[in-house]
Chains A and B, each alone.
Chain A
Amino acid sequence: MREATFVPKTVYITYIAATRERVWQALTTPEFTQQYFFGRSIEIEPRSGGNFVLRMSDGRDDVKGKVVEWSPPRRLSVTWRVDCNEAMRTLPECLVTYDIEQAGGAVKLTVERGASMGCARRPALRRTRRLAGDPLQPEERAGNRQGARHRT
């Protein structure tokens, strides 16, 4: 099974006052993702093995991958390869899994990013931070150089 080759690296948990169906829609429809994912439109084939793309407003692909699990409104799992520039295209893909559970009048959303060694974790973090206007801290830059060594 392909999933077994990915090791969990980062887990985000948050709680949202919405139904599971609505959270599922927010993750999988372009009308939603355009509003909260830096303007990216999602295109996703609703089945395991389907294609998955996050497209920028200028038409270029930012992230590409395949659907590993499509189980609405409970679990979505996709492979994740950052495609928007040359440096990131050479990195191995990650596995990103969204789990959506009912939790006492709210929904618990768990986002788990698995990673093989040299995954785009640090560059993705740096890029996200840059977009947010928040530069990396010195100790994180040190970690980033170490990450770069892993990739060579």
Chain B
Amino acid sequence: MFRREKPSRVTFELEPIGSKVKLTVTHDEFEPGSEVHAAVSNGWAVVLASLKSLLETGRALAMTSPQAMQRAKWDAVARATGDAR
């Protein structure tokens, strides 16, 4: 369903602030009523928090690991097959 929509735009801005970096992520140019927009709205907070943990401590958040993705995929499959019945 997402493939029907025109591509949106993601801009990453990196600005040095002292010894740190301010990262600003802007995701825009969605179609009106975009389903992609609804789907990604909660996602960036997770991804960026995990990126910060990874760069600062060497460990990403558990919820974004390949194992967690695999679990989420199976959960989605289970939900989909549940809906079909």
Chain A interface residues (CB < 8 Å from chain B): 13-17, 103-106, 132-134
Interface residues contributed by chain B, number (CB under 8 Å): 17
Number of A-B pairs, beta carbon distance below 8 Å = 36
Is B76 among interface residues, defined by CB-CB distance under 8 A? no
User: Once the chains bind, are A17 and B17 in contact (CB under 8 Å)?
Assistant: no
User: Once the chains bind, are B68 and A105 in contact (CB under 8 Å)?
Assistant: yes
Task: Provide the bound-state CA to CA distance between A16 and B46, in Å.
Answer: 9
B residues in contact with A105, CB < 8 Å: 61-63, 68
Residue in contact with A106 in the complex, picked from B18, B48, B62, CB distance below 8 Å: B62
Chain B interface residues (CB < 8 Å from chain A): 15, 17-18, 22, 42, 45-46, 48-50, 53, 57, 59, 61-63, 68
Given contacts A14-B49, A106-B62, 13 further A-B contacts (CB under 8 A): A13-B45, A14-B45, A15-B46, A15-B61, A17-B53, A17-B57, A17-B61, A104-B68, A105-B61, A105-B62, A105-B63, A106-B49, A132-B22
Interface SS of B by simple majority: helix
User: Once the chains bind, are B22 and A15 in contact (CB under 8 Å)?
Assistant: no
Residue in contact with A133 in the complex, picked from B18, B42, B63, B68, CB distance below 8 Å: B18
B residues in contact with A134, CB < 8 Å: 15, 17, 22
B residues in contact with A106, CB < 8 Å: 49, 61-63
Q: Using CB atoms, name the residue of chain B closest to A13.
A: B45
The 4 closest A-B pairs by CB, nearest first: A105-B62, A104-B63, A15-B49, A13-B45
